[in-house]
A and B are shown apart, each in its own frame.
Chain A
Amino acid sequence: MKARMTIIIVVAVMIFCFSVVAGPHVINPFALDETSKEILFYIRVPRSIVAVLMGMALGASGAVLQGMLRNPLADPYILGISSGAALAAAVGILGGFSFLGTFTVPALSFAGAIITGSIVGIMAWKKGGLWPERLLLAGVGLSFLFSALLMLLMSLSSDDGLRKAMLWIFGDLSMSDWSKIPYGCFFVATGILVATMRAKALNALILGDEFAHSLGFAPHRERVLLFVSVALMTAASVSLGGMIGFIGLLVPHIVRFFLGSDSRLLIPAAALSGGALLCIADLISRTVMPPMELPAGVITAIIGAPYFLYLLRGKNVLSR
């Protein structure tokens, strides 16, 4: 397992380095001219870092949520947090707000995500704890409500804002710059750290609250910690660049094929794999048809889903 984890780390780092120099304009890192330097440090590096952060957050929070909700179909967007973020971002884009400059839309969507996460948490709270079924249902319910409001808002909007809002919702990394990276780093790293530190408790919780209790964990306290870590990661990820499908749902499953289900390995490995996948997807999205960019979320699903189905063939995962 250690060898496989090492492979994942090495491959992820290689992909990151490659994505920085490759693209419509190939950069030779050993012979940098002024233009290349500009592109490298002001466009490519921040953009790849944002892609990695978003992908890491999605992979890790998917791994945590599937366990915490005991549902292999759970993904970070199921909690409604992303719908709240999208609604808030759309309000910002369509309303043309710019009170924080380029930071307005990320700030709005982060606020939307945190507020939605809090509502979900409050609605899932009963008898002194968070209950998995309630989290799932409250999340799905709010998700539908916010999606409906978002569609209503978009149907009433003009064409110009509409396209920008659509791009953002599909996942848009073209606006990435250094300004978003510190806060993104902070929340994603905090989330992954908290989740990895509580990975033993998560393993036990997956099998049941009473089982976790028998191993010395307080189920409700652990679930609150895990929920907060997932909410922070998801909020940070969505506010950095919108919604990216596939990673949160299927990357944890792919990693389980290779490393097993132990959350202590799964969470960091799913984070690295998610980051690497989004990095490749973003590289493809900006390279195939320049200067046009394809939505990165579409690419993750187009390359990820067939690979997942290929792996699924020979396995009896998800069997009961």
Chain B
Amino acid sequence: MTEDFSPFLPLSPAALHILLSLAGEDRHGYGIMQEIARQSEGQYKLGPGTLYDNLQKLETQGLVEESPRPPAHDDPRRRYYRLTSFGRRVLSAEVSRLEAVVREAKVHLRTPRRAT
């Protein structure tokens, strides 16, 4: 039986970047912001307001959850987030959708435009 991810797709750019940044490892808020800036080579920067607004939404949807804090860290304000298995499946579905879009775009861009 295949899952229906249509209520979650397409993901907003911010949600997509947040999920992608958490796909590799658990991160705290500032770590997510830095990873997003790194992945997009500085082209997409997320402020804390947008980040936590999206994190709250993703937590409510069950795509992201808070992970236990590593014992080495002593700053109580620092909280870590991780991707849930459901969130990982939604992210995979979104990546497949984007791949289909890119494939379609390549086909159309390769075909020479007919004169009208």
Q: Are chains A and B native binding partners rather than an unrelated pairing?
A: no
* Contacts from A to B (Cβ < 8 Å): none
